[in-house]
Structure 1
Amino acid sequence: MASTFLLTAGGTGGHLFPAQALAAELVRRGHVVELATDQRVGAYGGDFPARKVHVISSATIAGRNPLALARTAWRLARGTWQARGVIRRLKPDAVIGFGGYPTFPPMFAAFLGGVPSVLHEANAVMGRANRMLARRCSAIATSFPLVGEAAGVYPHKTRQTGNPVRDAVISASATPYDVPQDGGAFQLLVFGGSQGARFFSDCLPPALECLDAETRARIRLVQQCRPEDMDRVRAFYERIGITAELAPFFSDMAERIAVSHLVICRSGASSVSELSVIGRPSVLVPLPHALDNDQGRNADILARAGGAWPVAQSELDPARLAALLSELMAAPGRLAEAADCAKRAGRPDAVRRLADLAEYIASGAPVGALDAQETSSGDAS
């Protein structure tokens, strides 16, 4: 029977992309999907296959200033009140949360209203908001085996489904890796999360300038840049003769990953999942100073599989980046092997597994029977 699902995710790509993938799968199965998110949804919400999008008040807990904490508490309480209204009107069979503080009000409202819920953790380390919600949800779905303080805390309701990727990523995964040819054009893709990364705009141009002229002439660059960095980065590349396409956001990122010989990016969960499903080698630069080092843990997983080369931002200056690029561009066999290793680590079936789990929870079946589900076979493979 058709069910109604309320999906909730923060308004950035890292949270919305896996939610979008699940929404598309649930709609294909004949279910009704609505989305609760925050005001940042912007460019990412246009293609979301939801019947309706609800913007819910939220805030991130940061620092210990009493006034700031009071403001945050007020916004979260207001968001919970808004979410309870949405849930009363919609009467969803289940609420599915994808992490971040914007998911806290709808997920907590589901708990207060007795609505079954599934909490999805995209990273190897469970985020703070998810840790607060974990005890109150019906089931927890993870992308990777959890590490850190949440590891093994709720084994009876935790299942490793993988991180859902969008339909465009599944389509792009059919594109075989085009091994770069000696002396031929080299497709380099650089991006840095939802809004780009200033670090790449600062580090990459001088790194490419360090390359010898023959190597530099091979590069065909696509780079995500913040709007405020665009003019200076473009001028730099024009001066050193780099063919570059720059933009703050690429709506066809999956296709661009698929035609790349090498990707340089952050190691957010969605990026790591998409790189592995499509199967492309990458230099991963985890976001520094993260409280739980979640991006560092994500990068380690792909590196252990042989599909990536992680480098800490503090250790990556233009000279080292240039040396690494020269080394990899001169070793097409290494790149092809890394592409193959990345692809073998991918979980293209994650969306099916998570949708199965969502349907199971929406059916009202007892949580203790989760082990009977095909999606929760009990292994951590």
Structure 2
Amino acid sequence: MNTTAPLILLAAGGTGGHLFPAEALGVELMRRGLRVRLVTDSRAVRYSGLFSRDMIDVVASETVRGRSPIQFGRTSLMLALGTVMGLRLMRRLRPAAVVGFGGYPTVPPLLAARLAHIPSVIHDANAVLGRANRFLSRHADAIATSLPGVLDRDRALAGKTTTVGTPMRPAILAAASTPYAPPDPTGPFRLLVVGGSQGARVMSDIVPGAIERLEPSLWKRLILTQQVREEDMTRVRAIYDRLKIHAELAPFFTDLPARLAANHLVVSRSGAGTVAELAAIGRPAILVPLPGSIDQDQFANAGVLAEAGGGLRIAQTDFTSDRLAAEISGLAAEPGRLGTMAKAARSAGRLDAAERLADLVVKVAGI
């Protein structure tokens, strides 16, 4: 790589929803001959994608977890320390621009970029701007959103906002090339259940009961793949073994894009990355938004796919074994409806988001 090429610093929280779009942009920027590095918190050091350890810089950060004076003081101190570390990083690396992908670990490097007069861009994948990005939005030179209309009501921000979509990593782009094939009415029915990068206990609580309520004729057709937390594994496996369900269970799937493409129906949380990937690949889904979040971002994300006709949104209060069994049974009995949903989901996806975001970053950086 040309060590004199301009450097773009990518800042992201340490979860897949933030890291995967950063990786996708990094791939596109490197394809254009630019250098990239990732600045994040300690969680992402375990990340094994595009960014090797020698391409990662860690800065101090802390998530806002409560309103007590002690918690607020600790968070403020850690973010201030991270900003000082970020300033040192800016002076050492001299990036042409800094791009933030959300999460509190992006706050120190983006504030440091502002203080060092380095151009910055923030990207938000949700239908509602996240708290960290909302705080940074006034300081950024440009804002990129995955979905249209996110900031239309804020005149001060709408003028510097561009809709680009969610950058897709190479594995998703490869999976998107696999066309959807509806299940044969008497053949295998492939069901994938996932709960985000950390898993979701509600899936272990509800899905086994729903499977148990299906007609035995569907048990014989079912090929189930489910993400299950380690602490829930024994009880979930016992139910499927008793029912003689063909089930693969694991706490995490490293090849999730290929699994999304290989299944007829997906039951999932509705994080921004998951919804964007379902749309890019074009797979029908039953989406259960994470309840209790301040911004209700997952509820809004699921609404995008539901309104397009590519998914069903079920609030967690309505997500019962009876309800899920009824939905799975109905969809399994209507392959044509699944095919229509897959097509509708695909119509909501964007495969050129990395290129569009890279164009914006290059423009802001002036390179």
Q: TM-score range by the shorter chain?
A: over 0.9
Aligned to 1:46: 48
Equivalences, count: 363
Aligned to 1:376: none
SS at match of 1:245: strand
1:3-37 per-position Cα deviation (integer Å, ceiling 9, x unaligned)? 20110100001110111110111111111100011
Aligned equivalents of 2:362 and 2:238: distance in 1? 52
From the superposition, tell whether residues 242 and 329 of structure 1 become closer, same or farther in structure 2 (CA, over 3 Å). same
1:71-99 per-position Cα deviation (integer Å, ceiling 9, x unaligned)? 01111111111111111111000000001
Match of 1:141 among 144, 149, 156: 144
Per-residue deviation, 1:147: 4.2
Per-residue deviation, 1:168: 0.6
Aligned equivalents of 1:345 and 1:71: distance in 2? 41
Task: Indicate if the aligned counterparts of 2:151 and 2:161 stay in contact, CA closer than 8 A.
Answer: no
TM-score computed with the length of structure 1 as normaliser: 0.93
Per-residue deviation, 1:148: 7.4
From the superposition, tell whether residues 146 and 42 of structure 1 become closer, same or farther in structure 2 (CA, over 3 Å). farther
Partner AA of 2:181 in structure 1: D
Match of 1:12 among 3, 15, 22: 15
Bigger shift: residues 355-364 or 206-215: 355-364
1:63 partnered with 2:66: yes
SS at match of 2:197: coil
Aligned to 1:129: 132
1:312-323 aligned within 5 A: 312-323=315-326
Aligned to 2:336: 333
Task: Indicate if the aligned counterparts of 1:261 and 1:280 stay in contact, CA closer than 8 A.
Answer: yes
Aligned to 1:88: 91
Aligned to 1:183: 186
Task: Indicate if the aligned counterparts of 1:131 and 1:150 stay in contact, CA closer than 8 A.
Answer: no
Partner AA of 1:250 in structure 2: F
Task: Indicate if the aligned counterparts of 1:178 and 1:259 stay in contact, CA closer than 8 A.
Answer: no
Aligned to 2:111: 108
Match of 2:307 among 304, 309, 313: 304
Aligned equivalents of 2:342 and 2:220: distance in 1? 23
Aligned equivalents of 1:158 and 1:282: distance in 2? 30
1:225 partnered with 2:228: yes
Task: Indicate if the aligned counterparts of 2:45 and 2:56 stay in contact, CA closer than 8 A.
Answer: no
SS at match of 1:118: strand
Task: Indicate if the aligned counterparts of 2:146 and 2:166 stay in contact, CA closer than 8 A.
Answer: yes
Aligned equivalents of 2:137 and 2:16: distance in 1? 22
Task: Indicate if the aligned counterparts of 1:226 and 1:248 stay in contact, CA closer than 8 A.
Answer: yes
Aligned to 1:353: 356
1:242-268 per-position Cα deviation (integer Å, ceiling 9, x unaligned)? 111111111111100001100010111
Task: Indicate if the aligned counterparts of 2:151 and 2:158 stay in contact, CA closer than 8 A.
Answer: no
Partner AA of 1:94 in structure 2: A
Per-residue deviation, 1:62: 2.3
Per-residue deviation, 1:151: 4.4
1:192-211 aligned within 5 A: 192-211=195-214
Aligned equivalents of 1:107 and 1:100: distance in 2? 11
The gaps in structure 1 that reach 5 residues or longer are 365-381
From the superposition, tell whether residues 48 and 330 of structure 1 become closer, same or farther in structure 2 (CA, over 3 Å). same
Task: Indicate if the aligned counterparts of 1:302 and 1:308 stay in contact, CA closer than 8 A.
Answer: yes
SS at match of 1:181: coil
Aligned equivalents of 1:118 and 1:137: distance in 2? 6
Per-residue deviation, 1:226: 1.3
Aligned to 1:371: none
Task: Indicate if the aligned counterparts of 1:117 and 1:138 stay in contact, CA closer than 8 A.
Answer: yes
Aligned equivalents of 1:259 and 1:187: distance in 2? 8
Aligned equivalents of 1:138 and 1:208: distance in 2? 50
Task: Indicate if the aligned counterparts of 1:282 and 1:308 stay in contact, CA closer than 8 A.
Answer: yes
Match of 2:34 among 27, 31, 34: 31
The gaps in structure 2 that reach 5 residues or longer are none
Task: Indicate if the aligned counterparts of 2:146 and 2:164 stay in contact, CA closer than 8 A.
Answer: yes
Aligned equivalents of 2:118 and 2:331: distance in 1? 51
SS at match of 1:135: coil
1:284 partnered with 2:282: no
TM-score computed with the length of structure 2 as normaliser: 0.96
